[in-house]
Amino acid sequence: MKNTKLIAASSLTMLIVGLTSAIIGPLLVPMSESFKLNLSQTGSLVSFRFLGFFLSSVFIGLFWQRSRAGLFLVGSSFLLSLALLTIGFWPVLPVVCVLLFAVGLSSGLVHTGVDSLLSEIYPEVRIKVLNLVHIFFGVGAFLGPIMVGTVLWFFGWWNLVYYLVGMGALVLFFLFLTQNLKETQSTFVQTQTGAQTNLTDLTKSVPFWLLAIGMFFYVGSEVSLSSWVPMFMVKVRDTSAVVAGYTNSVFWIALLVGRLLFIYLSDKISTSRLLALAALCATVFAIGVFSITSHILIIAFLACTGFFASGIYPTVLALGGHTFPNRIGMIIAILTAAGSLGGICFPWLVGFGSEYLGLGRGIFIIPVLMGFAAAAFVYLEGKLIKKEAINIV
């Protein structure tokens, strides 16, 4: 595989983005106590971050070209480190809300930029490469709750977590600053991406809409799950914030292991079928997470949920790239934007619903959302099978 330095930088990118994604869930408890927030206000903290992530997808869709990769990756990694470090030094609610938006914007730009770049330069092994680098997202997401639990245990300062992750993002900035991204422009054939591409074919495509809808519900459910499980464990299952943070790590380590399996299975099972089966199994186990009272069984079901959900995000991106190979930058940006919209809406919706139903009942919004994603992917599998049968005839 060519450009191993780029793969290494991309892997570190996913690790840092994984950290920024995973720390907010375990930190919701101390942040809500520090700022005296109710449940719907607490969910809004997650929504601020994903609003920025959504706008990053719009920017990528409008302006992405491989020749601009350096500008996207260097600039966004610098903004990410600056926003994280500032939260660490200045933990005031209005400032934190603005900076969480900046964290979402910058992490989305660097995340989607890496996905778009790798999808373009590795068209033949797109699924494997995306699942490979997204394994490091799982590593970062696994380490995030452990970092939160450790910092809270020894220091008790939730903002210190953001400072530490910001230092890691600063390393990423210097890595991209010294990375020779121009070599990717001459080595590989440039595909047509960006806002100038005609969107008519996309909007008329049923698979496009099914991928977007599935991504909308899946990311919304995953973000809600990772954000609200710690609060659920503390408020409903009576654990400490530290234990709840460590419990969340189980989801992410299972997601990490699952992505290794997805790399192997991508050669054995059709991509759309693998996607449908994974989403269905994740939905079933997510129901179990919130239905049982045993802490051990909750952890086991949470691990199974993460295991089956592991490959959904990168596989959707890869399937979009395969289906629309001449519009890679735009299709990845649109799918990422669809997922970001889910990340904006549904964590808040879980908090809002829990205000009226109680957290023990409102939390079941999460497996319902995951079920909607599974339905979209199952229908997509049926459409693709039908299309293949027609082509054979």
What distance in Å separates the CA atoms of residue 84 and residue 164, rounded to the nearest whole number? 8
8 Å CB contact between 145 and 26: yes
Query: What is the per-residue pLDDT for 197?
Result: 45
What pTM did the predictor assign?
Answer: 0.79
* CB distance 321 to 280 below 8 Å: no
Residues whose CB falls within 8 Å of the CB of residue 24, separated by 6 or more in sequence, listed in order? 45, 46, 49, 100, 227
pLDDT digits (tens, 9 = 90+) for 20-69: 999 998 999 899 999 999 988 998 899 999 899 999 988 887 777 777 78
pLDDT for position 381: 87
Is 37:89 a contact under the CB 8 Å cutoff? no
Domain boundaries, the chain: 4-392
Tell which residue, 309, 280, 275, 310, has the closest CA to residue 384.
275
Please list the ranges in the chain whose pLDDT falls under 70.
1-2, 181-201, 384-393
CA dihedral sign, ordered 305, 307, 309, 310: positive
CB atoms within 10 A of CB 167: 12
Confidence at residue 321, expressed as pLDDT on a 0 to 100 scale: 79
Burial of 219 (0-12, 13-18, 19+ CB in 10 A): buried
Q: Are 184 and 281 in contact (CB under 8 A)?
A: no
H/E segment holding residue 248: helix 241-265
Q: Concatenated DSSP letters for 102-140? A: HHHHHHHHHHHHHHHHHHHH-STTHHHHHHHHHHHHHHH
Domain 4-392 has CATH 1.10.3720.10: no
Model confidence pLDDT, tens digit, residues 103-127: 999 999 999 889 888 888 887 777 7
CA angle 286, 135, 315 (to 5 degrees): 65
Distance CA 288, CA 345 (A): 23
Half-sphere exposure of residue 1: CA atoms within 13 angstroms, side-chain side: 15
The helix-helix angle for 39-63 and 4-35 (nearest 10°) equals: 150
